[in-house]
């Protein structure tokens, strides 16, 4: 076999779980073969450069062998070889993601606690509860934006 459909090859090389997922990615233009957008019926040969985008990461690989059978992962890895530039960029992106701050820590606070709920309920009543002790403060005693009389 000297050529094979790109959707079958991506499935056999374990870039996508099913052939239909590989076809969807190809139709969306997320796979380039030799610098050109590929359709699912595009045929690849050993030596072709394939760029596969998965999220923010673009992997540039060279086709080494062809297989239309999906085998175990160690066998699938022999079907291609990742370029040095692609490997360097992918590792740098992974390092950046590892060093990035946790998005959940950017939130000043999460879900209100039971104490917070009780303080909010106190706002709806006649008095305004102080946060340090539970003595109510009258509405007129709190700070307001109006100029004093």
Q: Which 8-state DSSP code applies to residue 62?
A: E
- If asked whether residues 68 and 116 sit together in one domain, one would say no
Domain of 117, in residue numbers: 112-138
- If asked whether residues 18 and 59 sit together in one domain, one would say yes
Q: Could you tell me what percent of the chain has a pLDDT over 70?
A: 79
What is the DSSP pairing of strand 57-63 with strand 136-137?
A: unpaired
- How do residues 37-71 score in pLDDT, each as one tens digit? 999 999 999 999 999 998 888 999 999 999 989 99
Domain count, the chain: 2
User: Within 13 Å, how many C-alpha atoms sit on residue 94's CB side?
Assistant: 8
Q: Is residue 63 part of a domain?
A: yes
Which two three-digit tokens encode residue 54?
């998965």
Whether the full predicted model's pTM is greater than 0.85, yes or no, is no
Residue 143: predicted pLDDT: 54
């Amino acid at each position: 076999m000297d050529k094979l459909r790109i959707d079958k090859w991506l499935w056999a090389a374990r870039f996508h779980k099913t052939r239909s997922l590989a076809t969807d990615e190809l139709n969306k233009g997320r796979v380039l073969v030799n610098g050109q957008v590929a359709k699912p019926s595009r045929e690849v040969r050993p030596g072709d450069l394939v760029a596969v985008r998965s999220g923010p990461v673009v992997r540039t690989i060279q086709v080494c062998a062809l297989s239309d059978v999906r085998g175990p992962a160690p066998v699938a890895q022999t079907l291609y070889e990742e370029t040095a530039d692609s490997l360097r960029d992918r590792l740098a992106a992974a390092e950046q993601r590892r060093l990035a701050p946790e998005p959940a820590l950017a939130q000043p606070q999460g879900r209100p606690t039971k104490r917070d709920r009780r303080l909010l309920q106190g706002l709806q009543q006649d008095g305004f509860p102080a946060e340090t002790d539970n003595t109510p403060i009258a509405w007129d005693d709190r700070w307001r934006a109006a100029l004093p009389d």
